[in-house]
C-alpha cells in the first residue's frame, strides 16, 4: 500500500538533505520560510533548539540595529553566480558537517557525511570552492581566500537564483551569528561577514568556530535591508583530503563489453559486461552512474564482488558499491515493517555461466551508498536485491507488457491517486530500453492529458509519461511501481497502457489495464477548457487575481459539471 503523500515528501526531502539532491522543485525559499504553522519537532544535542521560522523572522525584524549589515554596494544579479567550474587544478575533500534545512516552513538540524567538496586553484592563483551547504544542492562556486593554514569565504557572494514569470529572487552566502532570547533562537549577519576555516598539518580543513554559534548560511537581501537568513546553513565542518580512484578496465577489455540485462527485485535495466580471463567487468551496475565500472574477481564459475568499490561522484557525494544485507525493522510510527540495509560482512558471489552468458547472485543485495570506505554512517542511495545479469536479444516490434496491480485510492479526498506496476519487459520477457518506454493514463478509455494548471510542477502539457519521470509532487517512481495523484472527478473507469518507441519512431502499445473508479458516481471527464473558472484561497475566500501561493481552482464546464483542484503559483 502506498505511503501517504506527506510521508513521501518527508522521505524525499530528507534524502535531499543527506544526499544533497538537486533542488529542481524549489519554489521561492523566502516565501516557504514564511509559511511556518507549527513548531519543529526536534532538538539538537547542543544549546540550540529547533524553532519555527515565523518566530525567526519576527525576531529578525526586532533585532538590535548594531547587528545589521549594510547591503552590498553592487547590485547583484543571476549573471554574477559562478555556475561553470573554473579552469584550474582540483583538490577533492570529503565533507562532514552539521546543518540546518527547511521543511514545511520549519528549521530542522541534520548531519551529513560523505559529501564531495572540490577546491579549484586557477593559473592566476585564485581559489574557488563548492558544495558547502548540505541542506540543498547549490550548483554554484564561491571564491575563497587561502593564506597559509587559513581559508576564508567572504559573505555576499550570490549562489542561488529563483525566477518565475516576472518574479525573481537572488540568494547570497553569509556568515551568520547566533542570537538567543529565552526559548527562541535565530541567526543574524555577522559583523565581519567572513566564515573562516583552519588547515591542519595533514591537510584537514575545519571550521574555526566549531559550534553552532556561527554558521555559513544562505541569505536573502531585499533592497537596503540586512541579509535575512532563510533557514539553510552549516557548521562544524571537517573536510578531509580524498584520494580514492574509480576502477577502470584496459581499453581492449572495455571495447569487448556487450550489453546484458540486469534484473533484480523491483528493478531492471541494462549494464555492459566484459569478460576477461581472471576478471569480469560490469559497467552501469548503478543505473544512475552508467559510465562507472566495478570489477568481479573470477575463479572458474565463481565471480566475487569486492567488499567496497568506489564508483565516483554524483549529486555532490562520493558513491560506493557495497555488499549489504537486509534487516526487517518495525516502524512504530507507521506500524509496519520496513527493509533496512546494513553493510554485509561477506562479499557478493555470482554464479557465472560463461556459455549461457549469465551471472546470478542468489540471495544477496548490493547497495550504492553515499559514504566513505569503511564508514559505518553510510546513506543508501539505491540498491539491487537478488540480481541476475544475463545476455539477451530483443525482438523488435514485440509489444511491451501491460501494467499490473492497478489500484485507485480515494480514501482521502485531497490525496486521490492511481498506483500500478510497470515492468520494463516486452511480452516475450525481454528487457526494454527504458529511455524508449512510456505510459498513458486513460479516463473512461479517453487519453488523459496532464495540464500544468493542475500539475503545477510541469512546464507543458503531456500525455505520454516517460518511464522514469517524476515531478516531486504528483507523480512518483519507486522501483517498478508508479503513483499518480489526481483531482479529476466523475470517472467510471481508469486505464493504464505502456508505450514503446521503436528505432524508426513508431509506437507499439500494450494492452490496456483497467479498473473501476473507487468513488465517482457521475460519468464525465473534467473539462480543462472550462466555461467558467474561479479561484479561492485556503480559507474559502474568492480571489480575483491570484498571485503567489496555494489556491483552490473551481471550474465549471460547458455541460455545467463543477470540479475543484488545488494549484500552486
Q: What percent of the chain is modeled with pLDDT above 70?
A: 75
CB count within 10 Å of CB 377 equals 12
Tell me if 364 sits within 8 A of 386, measured CB to CB: yes
> Edge-to-edge, what's the strand order for the sheet holding 416-421?
404-409, 416-421, 481-486, 475-478
User: Is 31's pLDDT higher than 60?
Assistant: no
| Secondary element (H or E) of residue 61 | helix 53-61
pTM: 0.72
Measured CA to CA, the distance from residue 477 to residue 138 in angstroms comes to 24
Tell me if 187 sits within 8 A of 63, measured CB to CB: no
Measured CA to CA, the distance from residue 461 to residue 479 in angstroms comes to 25
Q: Please, which residues bridge with residue 496 across strands?
A: 441, 513
CB-based burial label for 141 (10 Å; 0-12, 13-18, 19+): buried
Lowest mean pLDDT among 32-46, 79-93, 363-377: 32-46
User: Is 206's pLDDT higher than 50?
Assistant: yes
Residues 314-372 have pLDDT tens digits of 888 888 888 887 778 887 766 788 777 777 888 889 999 999 999 998 777 787 877 66
| Secondary element (H or E) of residue 14 | helix 5-19
CB-based burial label for 44 (10 Å; 0-12, 13-18, 19+): middle
Separation of CA 38 from chain center: 25
| DSSP string computed for 284-299 | -SSTTSTT-EEEEEEE
**pLDDT of res. 396:** 66
Mean pLDDT of the chain: 79
First and final C-alpha spacing in the chain: 31
Residues 271-311 have pLDDT tens digits of 999 998 899 999 999 988 999 999 999 999 999 998 889 99
- Where on the phi/psi map is residue 212: left (φ > 0), alpha (ψ -120 to 50), or beta? alpha
Q: Which residue has the higher pLDDT, 468 or 411?
A: 468
User: Is 67's pLDDT higher than 60?
Assistant: no
For Cα atoms 560, 565, 566, give the angle at the middle one, nearest 5 degrees: 155
Calculate mean pLDDT across residues 226-250: 92
User: Is 43's pLDDT higher than 70?
Assistant: no
Domains and CATH numbers, the chain: 5-241 (no CATH), 251-391 (no CATH), 404-526 (2.60.40)
CB count within 10 Å of CB 338 equals 11
pLDDT band for 547, please (50, 70, 90 cuts): low
Measured CA to CA, the distance from residue 97 to residue 233 in angstroms comes to 10
Q: Which residue has the higher pLDDT, 150 or 266?
A: 150
Cell output for 77: 544579479
Of 106, 110, 138, nearest in space to 24 by CA: 138
User: Is 63's pLDDT higher than 60?
Assistant: no
Amino acid at each position: 500500500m502506498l505511503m501517504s503523500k506527506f510521508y513521501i515528501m518527508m522521505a524525499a526531502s530528507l534524502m535531499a538533505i543527506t544526499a544533497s539532491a538537486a533542488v529542481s522543485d524549489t519554489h521561492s525559499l523566502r516565501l516557504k520560510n514564511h509559511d511556518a504553522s507549527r513548531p519543529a519537532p526536534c532538538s539538537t544535542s547542543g544549546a540550540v533548539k529547533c524553532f519555527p521560522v515565523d518566530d525567526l523572522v519576527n525576531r529578525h525584524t526586532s533585532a538590535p540595529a548594531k547587528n545589521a549589515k549594510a547591503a552590498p554596494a553592487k547590485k547583484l544579479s543571476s549573471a554574477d553566480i559562478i555556475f561553470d567550474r573554473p579552469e584550474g587544478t582540483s583538490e577533492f575533500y570529503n565533507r562532514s558537517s552539521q546543518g540546518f534545512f527547511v521543511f514545511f516552513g520549519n528549521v530542522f538540524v541534520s548531519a551529513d557525511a560523505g559529501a564531495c567538496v572540490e577546491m579549484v586553484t586557477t593559473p592566476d592563483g585564485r581559489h574557488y570552492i563548492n558544495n558547502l551547504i548540505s541542506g540543498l544542492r547549490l550548483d554554484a562556486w564561491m571564491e575563497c581566500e587561502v593564506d597559509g593554514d587559513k581559508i576564508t569565504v567572504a559573505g555576499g557572494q550570490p549562489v542561488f537564483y529563483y525566477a518565475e514569470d516576472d518574479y525573481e529572487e537572488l540568494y547570497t552566502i553569509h556568515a551568520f551569528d547566533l542570537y538567543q532570547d529565552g526559548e527562541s533562537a535565530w541567526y543574524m549577519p555577522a559583523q565581519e561577514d567572513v566564515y573562516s576555516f583552519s588547515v591542519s598539518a595533514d591537510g584537514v580543513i575545519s571550521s574555526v568556530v566549531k559550534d553552532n554559534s556561527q554558521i555559513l548560511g544562505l541569505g536573502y537581501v531585499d533592497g537596503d535591508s540586512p541579509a535575512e537568513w532563510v533557514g539553510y546553513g552549516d557548521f562544524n565542518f571537517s573536510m578531509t583530503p580524498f584520494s580514492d580512484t574509480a576502477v577502470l578496465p584496459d581499453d581492449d577489455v572495455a571495447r569487448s563489453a556487450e550489453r546484458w540485462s540486469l534484473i533484480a527485485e523491483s528493478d531492471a535495466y541494462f549494464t555492459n559486461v566484459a569478460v576477461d580471463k581472471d576478471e569480469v567487468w560490469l559497467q552501469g551496475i548503478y543505473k544512475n552512474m552508467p559510465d562507472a565500472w566495478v570489477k568481479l574477481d573470477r575463479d572458474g564459475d565463481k565471480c566475487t564482488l569486492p567488499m567496497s568499490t568506489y564508483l565516483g561522484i554524483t549529486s555532490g557525494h562520493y558513491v560506493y558499491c557495497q555488499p549489504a544485507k537486509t534487516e526487517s525493522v518495525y516502524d512504530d510510527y507507521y506500524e509496519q515493517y520496513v527493509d533496512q540495509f546494513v553493510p554485509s560482512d561477506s562479499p557478493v558471489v555470482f554464479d557465472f555461466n560463461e556459455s549461457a552468458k549469465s551471472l546470478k547472485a542468489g540471495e544477496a543485495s548490493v547497495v550504492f551508498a553515499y559514504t566513505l570506505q569503511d564508514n559505518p554512517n553510510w546513506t543508501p542511495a539505491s540498491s539491487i536485491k537478488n540480481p541476475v545479469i544475463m545476455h539477451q536479444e530483443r525482438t523488435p516490434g514485440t509489444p511491451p507488457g501491460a501494467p499490473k496491480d492497478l489500484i485507485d485510492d480515494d480514501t482521502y479526498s485531497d490525496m486521490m491517486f492511481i498506483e500500478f506496476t510497470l515492468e520494463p519487459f516486452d511480452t516475450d520477457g525481454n528487457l526494454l530500453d527504458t529511455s524508449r518506454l512510456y505510459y498513458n493514463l486513460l479516463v473512461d478509455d479517453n487519453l488523459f492529458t496532464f495540464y500544468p494548471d493542475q500539475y503545477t510542477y510541469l512546464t507543458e502539457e503531456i500525455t505520454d509519461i516517460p518511464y522514469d519521470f517524476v515531478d516531486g509532487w504528483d507523480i512518483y517512481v519507486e522501483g517498478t511501481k508508479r503513483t499518480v495523484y489526481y483531482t479529476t472527478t466523475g470517472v467510471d473507469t481508469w486505464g493504464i497502457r505502456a508505450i514503446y518507441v521503436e528505432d524508426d519512431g513508431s509506437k507499439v502499445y500494450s494492452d490496456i489495464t483497467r479498473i473501476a473508479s473507487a468513488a465517482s458516481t457521475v460519468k464525465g471527464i473534467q473539462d480543462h477548457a472550462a466555461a467558467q473558472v474561479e479561484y479561492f484561497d485556503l480559507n474559502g475566500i474568492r480571489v480575483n487575481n491570484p498571485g503567489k501561493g496555494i489556491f483552490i481552482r473551481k471550474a465549471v464546464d460547458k455541460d455545467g459539471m463543477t470540479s475543484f483542484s488545488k494549484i500552486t503559483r
